[in-house]
Structures are given as structure tokens and as C-alpha cells.
């Protein structure tokens, strides 16, 4: 299915006030990560236009949200309550959020997204996987509109990765190109995602960079990019063996056209880079590459404009 991104929304935790973004009633007791993604989605829908989502019946609307740390701080607080005052003192308003799936559930409820509601949690690539899995669901006919995003909450002090915590959310609205043309909408472009796994032991071996480079080239080819055509790349990577090896592969593939930025603890930064590429609307394709120390790796190809380029897709 040929999908276009028609709405882009993001929020940062700094200065965020749910009352300004969402309203004074009904949101006070939601965990912060849920508030963030609701606000980002609200901005994305406003950006796309009033009828971009509602033109589809509720059963034809879906959501996919990626996160790594939305519930971590809440889980820590619950543990302290249970081991201290006892489980009877858990807040009825926040206790259900022990389940990571609930962080996107309010999004589905808020916007009548009855087609499907997915939560992805793979390290670092979960946000890009939300785009991939959501696009796959639309291609299978499960819906015709997709709200996809990533949301994170800051990690508690002492938690691994706390020094590179992320907090905030990004949301994108995707629609079929035919629907955008029918309503006379505006599109930022297309996004396509491919994922693969690079075992840490392989990444650290002498042949790791070669394997990563081949997988990267295969992913870009599957997304429709042809060698020799203009491409810039942003690589969101950490200093792990997997991150370093993928960084070598990216540098070899595109040379000085690659920008490397440090990865945060979660999956927010890659999605933020995708949103930035869509908003910038360059005159050529831009790839966002990211990888986790565990081996999960993803490539997102952003093709600007409302025509030509590659379809949002998955494998």
C-alpha cells in the first residue's frame, strides 16, 4: 500500500504541561509517557487537517506505539509501595499501567482507533518498528489510517541508561496516497522501514562490518533506494560493538554524507530524526539508521514529497 505521512507531531518533556496540551480534566492521573504520546498525536492530527483521520470509519483506524522506558519509573514506584506500605496502597488510577500495552490504549480510546492497537518494545528500534508493523497491518487490509509513534519517560536515577534518558514523544499520521489526493491533503513524504538482527558476537568479529554493510545495503534496496542516487544518512548509535560496527558500515556506504548522533537510552531519538527529515523536506532521500547493543537494527528511508519514491513497507 502506498502510504503518505500527512501529520507530524512531537513534544518534549521540558516545559510540558498536560493541562495546556490536553485539557484540565481526564488526564491528571495518566503516566507521563501516556500524556506525551497523546499530546504528540493531537499535534500530528492538527497538522494533517481536521478530516484526515475521521474520513475513515473507526474500524479502519489503527495505532502502533513504540517504547522502551514508558513504565520503568512507574514500576519502581509500585515496587516501593508494595514493599513498603503494601499492595493495598497502590493507586487504582495508575496500577493498570504495570502493563506496557496500556500506554497506547488511551490513544486508541481517545481517537476511536478500533482497527488495531499495537505496542512495540524492541530496544532502540521500537519506534521504527511501530511504523513497520503498522504499515504491514494496513497493507493486510486491517485499517486505512495509522497513528504511529514513540514515547519515553525518563529513567529513575541508578537505572542502567539513566544518564542518557529520553522523555517525550513523536507521532506520525499515515494515509493512503489515494485518500490524500481525494481530500486535497498535503503530504510530507513516504517512510519505509526494514529491520534486521546483528548478533553482538558477530558485530565484534573481523567480519562484522562486512555483514552489517551487506544487511544495510539489502535493507535500502528493499526500500527502493538505488545505488548512485542521492542519499543522506543519520545514524543514531551508541558505543557498543553493534553500534560501532553499524557506524562503520554506514560510513563505508555513504561516506561524508552520513551524520552520526549519540543514541539515547530509549527509542525516541530515531523517530525524532525521522520527523525532522520529513519536516525538512530535502530534495532527495534520507535514511535514519539505528541499532541497539542487543543487536536489533533498523533502517528507515524517508522519501520527500507526495509523489514518487518508495512505499511504506515492512519485511
State the pLDDT at residue 135: 97
pLDDT tens sequence across 33-55: 999 999 999 999 999 998 999 99
Residue 45 is placed in which grid cell?
492530527
Q: What is the pLDDT of residue 42?
A: 97
Query: What is the model's pTM?
Result: 0.92
Edge-to-edge strand order for the sheet containing 189-197?
A: 116-120, 61-66, 145-152, 168-176, 3-12, 189-197, 296-304, 285-291, 231-237, 258-262
Please tell me the predicted confidence (pLDDT) of residue 315: 37
Residue ranges in the chain whose pLDDT is less than 70: 256, 306-315
pLDDT, one tens digit per residue, over 72-81 is 888 777 778 7
pLDDT computed for residue 306 by the predictor? 65
156-200 confidence digits (pLDDT tens): 998 999 999 999 999 999 999 999 999 999 999 999 999 999 999
pLDDT of amino acid 307: 42
Confirm if 111 and 41 have CB atoms less than 8 A apart. yes
- Among the listed residues 220, 263, 70, the one whose alpha carbon sits nearest the alpha carbon of residue 155: 70
- Which pLDDT score, from 0 to 100, does residue 170 have? 98
CA distance 251 to 92: 50
Strands (E), the chain: 3-12, 61-66, 116-120, 145-152, 168-176, 189-197, 231-237, 258-262, 285-291, 296-304
CA gap 126, 10 in Å, rounded: 16
Closest CA to 127 of 99, 98, 157, 104: 104
Give the three-class secondary structure for 214: helix
Amino acid at each position: 500500500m502506498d502510504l503518505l505521512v500527512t501529520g507530524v507531531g512531537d513534544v518534549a518533556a521540558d516545559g510540558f504541561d498536560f493541562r495546556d496540551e490536553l485539557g484540565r480534566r481526564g488526564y491528571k492521573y495518566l503516566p507521563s509517557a501516556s500524556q506525551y504520546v497523546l499530546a504528540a498525536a493531537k499535534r500530528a492530527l492538527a497538522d494533517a487537517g481536521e478530516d484526515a483521520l475521521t474520513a475513515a470509519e473507526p474500524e479502519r483506524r489503527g495505532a502502533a506505539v513504540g517504547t522502551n522506558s514508558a513504565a520503568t519509573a512507574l514500576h519502581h514506584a509500585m515496587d516501593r509501595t508494595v514493599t513498603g506500605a503494601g499492595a493495598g496502597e497502590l493507586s487504582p488510577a495508575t496500577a493498570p499501567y504495570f502493563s506496557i500495552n496500556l500506554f497506547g490504549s488511551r490513544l486508541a480510546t481517545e481517537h476511536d482507533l478500533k482497527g488495531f492497537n499495537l505496542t512495540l518494545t524492541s530496544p532502540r528500534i521500537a519506534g521504527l518498528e511501530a511504523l513497520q508493523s503498522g504499515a504491514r497491518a494496513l497493507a493486510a487490509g486491517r485499517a486505512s489510517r495509522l497513528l504511529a509513534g514513540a514515547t519515553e519517560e525518563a529513567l529513575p536515577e541508578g537505572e542502567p541508561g539513566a544518564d542518557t534518558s529520553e522523555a517525550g514523544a513523536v507521532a506520525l499520521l499515515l494515509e493512503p496516497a489515494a485518500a490524500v489526493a481525494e481530500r486535497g491533503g498535503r503530504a510530507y513524504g513516504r517512510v519505509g522501514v526494514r529491520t534486521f538482527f546483528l548478533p553482538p558476537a558477530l558485530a565484534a568479529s573481523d567480519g562484522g562490518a562486512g555483514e552489517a554493510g551487506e544487511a544495510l545495503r539489502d535493507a535500502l534496496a528493499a526500500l527502493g533506494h538505488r545505488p548512485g542516487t542521492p542519499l543522506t544518512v543519520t545514524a543514531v548509535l551508541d558505543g557498543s560493538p553493534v553500534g560501532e560496527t553499524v557506524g562503520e558500515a554506514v560510513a563505508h556506504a555513504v561516506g561524508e554524507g552520513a551524520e552520526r548522533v549519540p543514541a539515547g537510552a530509549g527509542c525516541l531519538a530515531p523517530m525524532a530524526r525521522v520527523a525532522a527529515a520529513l519536516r525538512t523536506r530535502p530534495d532527495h532521500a534520507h535514511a535514519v539508521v539505528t541499532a541497539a547493543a542487543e543487536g536489533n537494527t533498523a533502517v528507515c528511508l524517508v522519501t520527500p514529497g507526495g509523489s514518487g519514491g518508495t512505499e511504506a513497507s515492512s519485511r
